[in-house]
Structure formats: C-alpha cells, structure tokens
Amino acid sequence: MSELDDLYSDLIMEHSMCSCNKKSLACANCSAMGKNPNCGDEIKLEFILKDNLIEDMSFGGHGCAISQSSTSIMIDTLRGKTIEEAQDIISIFIKMINREEVSEEEKEKLGNSIAFENISNMPARVKCALLAWHTTRNILNDTLKNNSK
Ligand code: ZN
C-alpha cells in the first residue's frame, strides 16, 4: 500500500475491512458475478434498477482488500445515479486507471473513487480495482439493450 497516498489508503482500508455495502438486497432485480482469477477475487453484485435509475446496490463475495474496497466505494459513487450517469462515471474511472487524461470536472464525478488514482503504480492490483467496475458496466449495457427492445 505504500505507493498510495496515505489518506486514500486509509479510505481503501476502511472500506475493505468494514463495508455497509456488503450485504444482500432483498428486493434486488438484477445481479452479476465478477471473477478475477489472477488474484482469486470473486464478487457478486446486486442491483435494484428502477426504470433508468440505480436505486440501490450491494455486494458479496470475497477477495483482496483492493477488490473489496473498490467495489464498496464504487457502490457509494453509483448509488442513486441514472444508468447513463453511471456509465459515464465508469468510463472516467477506467480512463483514470489506464492513465489517460481525466479533466478536473471528470474527477469530481468520481467522488471517493479517486482514491484509486495511483493504483496503476501497482500493476498486479489493477485488475482487482477494475473488477467491480467492468462487471457493472456489462450489466448496465445489457440493461440498456433490454430496455430499448
Ligand atoms: Zn485482488
């Protein structure tokens, strides 16, 4: 963790040890599994999607501190957003991790997820940090496709 800014690593540790987002949603109407075999991370994401809105999200499963906290912080960031807003935030996050240029305005949209800005200094952890985000992007893409049918 030494390569991460102290403040951010605190946030990451906090979410990895104790997350109120780690639970099952009784009314979930959508769920997805994400796996990162390189590290052994396995997460299950649950969603309550209402029309175009992510009303609630939660996760379960197990994995390293980075995958767990990235999932939890992502949920805090995306909860209450529309699917389009969420997709926008997800692509900004992926851009940031890939060290592409991200504007200040875009960074603001990331909220606490900015904590993972320097994760690319630890290439082995990048897949851990991205797992939940890729999984969510796929499920939202599918949902949009189904909605437009
Ligand atoms: Zn991991």
**Distance from Cα 138 to the centre of ligand 1, integer Å:** 19
**Predicted pLDDT at 1:** 44
User: pTM here?
Assistant: 0.92
Residue 90 C-alpha to ligand 1 middle, in angstroms?
19
Whole-number Å distance, alpha carbon 99 to ligand 1 midpoint, is 20
Ion ligand 1: residue ranges with CB closer than 5 A = 39, 41, 64, 67, 128
Mapping DSSP onto H, E and C, the string for the chain reads CCCCCHHHHHHHHHHHHCCCCECCCCCCCEEEEEEECCCCEEEEEEEEEECCEEEEEEEEEECCHHHHHHHHHHHHHHCCCEHHHHHHHHHHHHHHHCCCCCCHHHHHHHHHHHHHCCHHHCHHHHHHHHHHHHHHHHHHHHHHHHHCC
Predicted pLDDT of residue 7: 62
Q: What is the pLDDT of residue 79?
A: 97
Residue 134 CA to ligand 1 center (angstroms) comes to 14
Residue 18 lies in a domain: yes
Domains contained in the chain, number: 1
pLDDT digits (tens, 9 = 90+) for 7-44: 678 888 888 877 789 999 999 999 999 999 999 999 99
CATH number of residue 119's parent domain: 3.90.1010.10
Task: Give the HSE-up count for residue 64: Cα atoms under 13 Å, Cβ half-sphere.
Answer: 17
pLDDT at position 5:
63
- Asked if residue 30 belongs to a domain, the reply is yes
The mean pLDDT values, 10 residues at a time, for the chain of 149 residues are 63 82 94 96 96 96 93 96 97 96 96 91 92 97 85
Q: Please give the residue range of the domain that contains residue 11.
A: 3-144
Residue 37 lies in a domain: yes
72 in any annotated domain: yes
Would 7 be classed as within a structural domain?
yes
User: What spacing in Å lies between the alpha carbon of 25 and ligand 1's midpoint?
Assistant: 24
Ligand 1 midpoint to CA 48 (Å): 26
74: Cβ contacts below 8 Å, ≥ 6 apart? 93, 113, 132, 133, 136
Is 102 a domain residue?
A: yes
* pLDDT for the residue 4: 54
Nearest CA-CA partner of 138 in 94, 81, 106: 94
Assigned domain for 149 exists: no
